[in-house]
Amino acid sequence: MFPNLRAEMVRSGLVVSDIARAIHKTDKSVRSKLNGMGEFTLGEVVSIRDQLFPGMELDFLFERSVKK
């Protein structure tokens, strides 16, 4: 899930713990959300974008992959 977010994390040299710190969650919680086992809240989505990917579109960053 979230292939664009994952790609931007790689481009920026960010890891799960960076996302976790930005939204005050555990690494495990963020991994679950990235894998579709939970949902990011709107506040978390905005915090991730504002703190780690300023200027990027939310729709682009948090586009979900389609599982076949």
CA 30/CA 13 separation, integer angstroms: 17
Whole-number average pLDDT of the chain: 95
For residue 67, the model assigns a pLDDT of 60
Tens digits of per-residue pLDDT, 56-67? 999 999 999 866
pLDDT value of residue 65: 83
- pLDDT digits 0-9 by tens, 11-39: 999 999 999 999 999 999 999 999 999 99
How far apart, in Å, are the Cα atoms of 2 and each of 46, 57, 61?
A: 15, 13, 7
All residues at 6 or more sequence positions from 60 whose CB lies less than 8 Å from its CB, including other chains: 4
Task: Categorize the per-residue pLDDT at 68 as very low, low, confident or very high, splitting at 50, 70 and 90.
Answer: low
CA angle (56 as vertex; 55, 60 as ends), nearest 5: 165
Q: How far is 55 from 36, CA to CA, in rounded Å?
A: 25
